[in-house]
Copies of this chain bind each other. A is one copy, B any other.
Amino acid sequence: MQNYVFGADIGGTSVKLGLFYSDGELLEKWEIPTRTVNGGVHVLPDVAQAIMTAMERHGISASQVVGIGIGVPGPVDDSFTVNKCVNLGWGVFNIKERMNELLPEIPHVAAGNDANVAALGELWRGGGRGSQSAVMITLGTGVGGGVVLDGKIVAGRNGGAGEIGHMTVEPGETVPCSCGKCGCLEQYTSARGVVRMAKVMLSQCDTPSKLRRIEDFTSKHICELAAVGDHMALKIIDRFGDYLGRAMSYISCTVDPDVFIIGGGMSKAGNIVTDAALKYYRKYAFHVSKETGAAIAMLGNDAGIYGCARMVLK
């Protein structure tokens, strides 16, 4: 008899759902809105309802469901206690216990922070395939991260593991990060941060650049112009790589992963981004770890549901 797994990657506006065969193959994926009203009280019942509907649609009985994996946009500890999700209005509660109340016939529930779960998904079926440990760095609006060692998510005592974006890489910085500290990696290497840094660099010199002619340029413009040899864009990407590569070297001095996985909007520029980061990574890394590679994330928005399934299938 065929067995199945459900993954539910809960985001601030929608929940991504995946139905997988127990060998890890994706059978169906879909989305439902995240109803954050009333302290997010509807979110998990909506997920349970979506799972029941899908089971009916495919004629799957509860005994055929190995379990449900859930990605949460906030800290989750090893016993699956959620410690506040501001985006959802959630306080502190045990998500496994809540799901067991909603779907008592499917007792096996696992949960993790969404960034960590995405890292697990990429390690399993994406850019980190074939490795046992990886650190994923997501260069999006902010900079997030996930640490997976020996196939297991590292959450940390306070759910702070993988908060790569808040490494203080520029102690002398006076402009504050959204977190309140100054000099965080996110301020230089997120899609938004690299634009801010570019504007500062452009204001400090007269080097001609096509960037000067684009009002409200984005990180995509910077990467595209660097790819065609715009001198200033190359300088910006070089400094971006200096910060990111140094942060990666700190990660290696701590856990020495098999591979780095670079995801998020900035990663769409591909080699431009990884080459710049690895150039400086090799400069700053301890010699034994110098050859560690950086892969581009492959699963995009599906990384979360794959990671959810993986949490259950291990």
Q: Which A residues form the contact surface with B (CB < 8 A)?
A: 75, 78, 133, 135, 147, 149-150, 154-164, 166-168, 171, 179-181, 242, 246-247, 249-258, 283-284, 286-289, 291-292
Contacts and interface: CB of A to CB of B under 8 A. Distances in A.
A249 B167 CA distance: 7
Contacts of A287: 179-180
Given A149-B149, A168-B246, A284-B181, A160 B75 contact: no
A186 to B, nearest CB: 11
A289 B158 contact: yes
Pick from A75, A78, A171 the residue with the most CB of B within 10 Å. Answer: A171
Q: Is the interface of A mostly helix, strand, loop or mixed?
A: loop
B252 A250 contact: no
Copies in the complex: 2
B159 A253 contact: no
Nearest to A149: B154
Given A75-B288, A149-B149, A284-B181, A257 B157 contact: yes
Contact of A171 (B159, B179, B246, B288): B246
Nearest to A183: B284
Nearest to A164: B253
Given A168-B284, A171-B284, A160 B289 contact: yes
Contact of A157 (B147, B162, B180, B292): B292
A254 B162 contact: yes
